[in-house]
């Protein structure tokens, strides 16, 4: 990975963003004293260009654009090991969740935009159908990611074995699921 020099100035330190992260996660960013225990226990750290403790340091320095431009937050498995190990009660797993939400809202230029796209389509399907609709998920993902021919051979095989359904009905409890999404939207407005 290419390392670029970090410039710290009032322009580059976006502390409003850090306050949003703290508000959403309910956890303090400032409490982190860089002991590294979170990273030592993180099962996904080898896939991240910014390991968990560095995410905290970048946040403290207001360097959120570096975080959102990378893949680390999308490789976090939400296992909560970091939060459990932190001697200073930093809920890093909740901070990762908050960062994914803010990245989602910003629709930012993540290197892992495919992960973000898959997440978005997954949730959209749940919202629309009340359950997952794999055929649609795969087809829309391939079109939106520009990989039109990706599953050309696999799709028919899965259809013939009944692993994929061409058409899909909505969950009969769709109204309850819509209510859950509405409540989440209301909560988001009060937090931000
Ligand atoms: S919650 Fe995410 S960052 Fe924390 S230990 Fe698990 S994978 Fe790593
Ligand atoms: S374990 Fe807690 S205090 Fe230590 S680096 Fe990680 S977040 Fe910071």
Q: Which amino acid residue places its CA nearest to atom 6 of ligand 2? A: 38
- Per-residue model confidence (pLDDT) at position 41: 97
**What pLDDT does residue 55 have?**
96
At 178 the pLDDT is: 93
Q: Where are the alpha helices (DSSP H) in 7-133?
A: 15-25, 37-41, 52-60, 64-68, 72-75, 81-85, 92-106, 113-129
Q: Whole-angstrom Cα distance, residue 109 to residue 57?
A: 21
Q: Please say whether the beta carbons of 66 and 58 come within 8 A.
A: yes
Coil/strand/helix, residue 144 = helix
Query: Structural domains in the chain?
Result: 15-106 (1.10.1060.10), 113-185 (no CATH)
Which protein residue's CA is at the shortest distance from atom 4 of ligand 2? 35
User: CA-to-CA distance for 113 and 119, rounded, in angstroms?
Assistant: 10
24 CA to middle of ligand 2, Å?
18
Residue with tokens 């905290």: 56
pTM recorded for the entire structure? 0.71
pLDDT averaged over 10-residue windows placed end to end, the chain, 192 residues: 60 78 93 96 94 95 87 91 96 95 72 74 92 90 84 85 83 93 84 60
Judged by its nearest atom, the ligand closest to the C-alpha of residue 52 is: 1
Residue nearest to atom 8 of ligand 1 (CA): 42
How far away, in angstroms, is 88 Cα from ligand 2 center? 7
């Amino acid at each position: 990975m290419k390392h670029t020099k970090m410039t710290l100035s009032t322009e580059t330190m976006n502390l409003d963003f850090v306050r949003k992260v703290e508000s959403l996660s309910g956890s303090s960013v400032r409490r982190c004293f860089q002991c590294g225990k979170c990273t030592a226990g993180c099962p996904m750290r080898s896939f991240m260009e910014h390991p968990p403790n560095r995410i905290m340091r970048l946040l403290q320095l207001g360097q959120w654009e570096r975080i959102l431009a990378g893949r680390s937050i999308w490789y976090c498995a939400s296992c909560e090991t970091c939060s459990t190990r932190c001697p200073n009660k930093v809920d890093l797993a909740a901070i990762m969740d908050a960062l994914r939400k803010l990245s989602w809202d910003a629709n930012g230029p993540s290197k892992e935009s495919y992960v973000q796209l898959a997440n978005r389509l997954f949730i959209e399907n749940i919202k629309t159908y009340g359950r997952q609709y794999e055929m649609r998920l795969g087809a829309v993902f391939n079109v939106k990611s520009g990989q039109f021919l990706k599953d050309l051979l696999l799709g028919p095989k899965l259809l013939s074995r009944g692993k994929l359904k061409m058409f899909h009905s909505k969950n009969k409890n769709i109204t309850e699921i819509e209510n859950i999404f509405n409540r989440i939207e209301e909560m988001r407005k009060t937090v931000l």
